[in-house]
Amino acid sequence: MYTVLGVLAVMAATGTEGGRTASKTQVLQTIQDMPMGRWLLGLVALGLAGYVIWRLVQAIRDTEGHGNDAKGMGKRLAYAASALGYGVLAYIAGKAAFENTSANSGGNSRQSFVATLLEQSYGQWLVGAIGLTVIGIGIYQLMRAYSGSFAKHVNSSRIPANQQRMVHRVGQLGYTARGIVWAILGYFLIQAAMHSNANEAQGTEGAFDFLASMGSGIMLVVALGLVAYGLYMFVRAKYPILRGV
C-alpha cells in the first residue's frame, strides 16, 4: 500500500499522467482498478487482516517485551490502535473485493469521526490532543530513522553483506518520509481543533498537497521516501525477526 501511495505521488510530482495525491482508501481503489483488481484487492485484504491479527498478538501477548508499566502499556495500546486502523482498511478492501463495490466509499470517515468528536464537550481539546499525539508519532518515526532502531526487526545476517548498507539507507529514507507525513497529519488535526472544522482533518492526500504547495521537489523527495518505506517493508517481511512466537 505504501509503495502504491508513493508511486502515485511521484507521478503527480513529476507531472506523469495518472499520478495523484491519494489517501489509503484511494490506493485500495487504484488496486481495484488494475487488471484482476478484485483478486488483488482480496489478497491485500487478506494481508491486512493478517497484519491486524499480528498487531493484536503484539498488544495482548507482549511479544516485544515492553512490560506492564506505563511506558510499556502505552506502546501496547499503540499496537492495538494500529490494529484498529488497519482493521478498517481490511474491512473496506474485503467488502470491495467480494461485493464489487467501490473501495473508496469510506473516504470521508476521517472527517465524520473528527466531526463527532468536535460535537462533544471538550471536543476541540480532545482532537487537539490527538493531533499532538500524531505529531509525536511522526517525531518518533524520525528518531527511529536516525537512531537506526528500526533495523532491529530485520534479520540482517540473512541479507547479503553487500546489500545490508543499502537496505539500511532505504529504511532510513522510508521512516523519515513516514515521520514527515505523520507530523503533517497531526498539524491538520490541530488546525481542525482550533477552528472547530472537521474538514481540515485531511489525510495523506492532503499531506502531499501541502508538500506540493512548498514545491514539487519537496513532494517528490517525500513521495520517493514512501516508496522506499514500502520496499523496506518487503525486506522486513522476507527477513523477519518475530519475537514471542
Structure confidence at residue 245 as a pLDDT band (50, 70, 90): low
Structure confidence at residue 54 as a pLDDT band (50, 70, 90): very high
- pLDDT tens digits, 141-164: 999 999 988 888 898 888 988 899
CA distance 63 to 79: 11
Q: pTM (2 decimals)?
A: 0.86
Give the position of cell 510530482.
13
* Residue 10: all three cell numbers together: 511521484
| Angle at 182 (CA atoms; ends 139, 28), nearest 5 degrees | 150
**Mean pLDDT over all residues of the chain?**
89
| Inter-CA distances, 219 with 7, 24, 45, 135, Å | 12, 17, 28, 19
Which has the minimum average pLDDT: 5-14, 74-83, 102-111? 102-111
| Inter-CA distances, 14 with 8, 23, 212, 216, 217, Å | 10, 19, 11, 8, 9
* Residue 22: all three cell numbers together: 491519494
Structure confidence at residue 183 as a pLDDT band (50, 70, 90): very high
For residue 244, pLDDT beyond 70: no
Give the pLDDT score at 129. 95
For residue 46, pLDDT beyond 90: yes
